[in-house]
Amino acid sequence: MKHSYALITGASSGIGLEISKILGAKGYNLILVSNQGEVLNELVAEFSEAFKVKVCSIDIDLSKEEAPKEIFDFCVDQQLEVEVLINNAGFFFFGEAVEADPKLAIDLVNLHVRTTSLMCTFFGKQMKQRKKGYILNTSSISAYKDFPGISYYGSSKAYIKSFTRSVRTELKRYGIHVTCLLPGATATNLYDPTIVNIPKAKKWGIMIGADKVARSGIRALFRNRSKVVPGFMTNLMNGFARATPHWLIYLISKRVKYFDNQD
Ligand SMILES: NC(=O)c1ccc[n+]([C@@H]2O[C@H](COP(=O)([O-])OP(=O)(O)OC[C@H]3O[C@@H](n4cnc5c(N)ncnc54)[C@H](OP(=O)(O)O)[C@@H]3O)[C@@H](O)[C@H]2O)c1
């Protein structure tokens, strides 16, 4: 196939790792980005051997303000032409917004909102000039409904969903595919295994595998779909969640031990 590059953020684990494998197998050279330097080094060796493509990595904290510009400058300096951009890195924390650690909260907003947006701006502009390119932004089904306990996470993912749809419309006339991936519960390191029983959740069909989510996302991207929610059960649960009225969500939240139920 072609020898263009695919850049994947959050490539060191979960969905990003699976997406990297799929794109490597398709013959794309890979730029693996995350804050896990050692894991990235191992993946560079493993993927260059397995897929016979060029693989490099960028070890960077994607929450920091300069991250998108530093990554873009690196690619320009090294003459790496990014044809596929996967904005996938993300993290999660649960709890009331007023109890949030301000540093963690702003890191999440910077990573999900600032970095995702500016990566689209920098790399999207090059794609527009070349009239070729693919952008996949990872949101979440939490973008569809405003739930308590995930105020920062859910609303930042709603931003990604909305931003992706607008950018898609802007770039469509240049032949660029822009797709939003909206996973439901997926068996990855996003969850604290001391709180969530991942093997059981997967067995009961509540969670799906990262490989399945990655396949759905890449298929939707190359078929130029606007968005994809992977998995039948996820779509079913998403339907129920979206139909749940806020008064019921409030009553349930009053019974959940993680909330400060003083009223
Ligand atoms: N798992 C789910 O149920 C689910 C559902 C909906 C949406 N999503 C979204 O899917 C995406 C991928 O998550 P995942 O489930 O595959 O979780 P994951 O296994 O934890 O992967 C997230 C990746 O992003 C990296 N990352 C996080 N913060 C970073 C930072 N500041 N700088 C650089 N890299 C950073 C992580 O590195 P570290 O290992 O250092 O954290 C990791 O490589 C996220 O955007 C997530 O919000 C996941």
Residues β-bridged to residue 58: 33
Q: How far apart are CA 182 and CA 201, in angstroms?
A: 19
CA 168 / ligand 1 centre spacing (Å): 23
pLDDT bin (cut points 50, 70, 90) of residue 9 is very high
Centre of ligand 1 to C-alpha 93, Å, is 12
- Choosing among 2.40.50.100, 3.10.20.310, 3.40.50.720, 3.30.70.20, the CATH entry for 5-255 is 3.40.50.720
Q: Which of 21, 33, 34 to mutate to test the pocket of ligand 1 (most atoms within 8 A of CB)?
A: 34
pLDDT at site 255: 84
Q: What is the residue extent of each domain of the chain?
A: 5-255
Q: Range with the lowest mean pLDDT among 68-77, 121-130, 167-176, 253-262?
A: 253-262
Quote the mean pLDDT of the chain.
94
C-alpha 18 – ligand 1 centre gap (Å): 12
Full-model pTM = 0.96
Task: Locate 240 and state its tokens.
Answer: 């129920």
Give the pLDDT mean for 186-193. Answer: 89
pLDDT at 1: 41
What is the strand order of the sheet 134-138 is part of?
55-59, 29-34, 5-9, 82-87, 134-138, 177-181, 227-228
pLDDT band at 203 (very low <50, low <70, confident <90, very high): confident
CB 143 within 8 A of CB 93: no
Mutate-to-test residue for ligand 1 from 17, 65, 106, 189, highest number of ligand atoms within 8 A of CB: 189
Alpha helices in the chain (DSSP H): 14-25, 37-51, 67-77, 102-109, 116-130, 151-172, 198-203, 210-222, 232-243, 246-255
Q: Which residues line ligand 1 (CB under 6 A)?
A: 10, 12-16, 34-36, 61-63, 88-91, 111, 138, 140, 183, 185-186, 188-190, 210
Compare 3 and 53 and report the one with higher pLDDT.
53
What is the percent of the chain with per-residue pLDDT over 70, rounded to a whole number?
Answer: 97
Contact 205, 232 (CB under 8 A): no
Whose tokens are 């969903």? That residue is: 161
Tokens standing for residue 186: 């997926």
Q: What is the pLDDT of residues 50-65, one digit of tens each?
A: 999 999 999 999 999 9
Q: How far is the C-alpha of 1 from the C-alpha of 162, rounded, in Å? A: 33
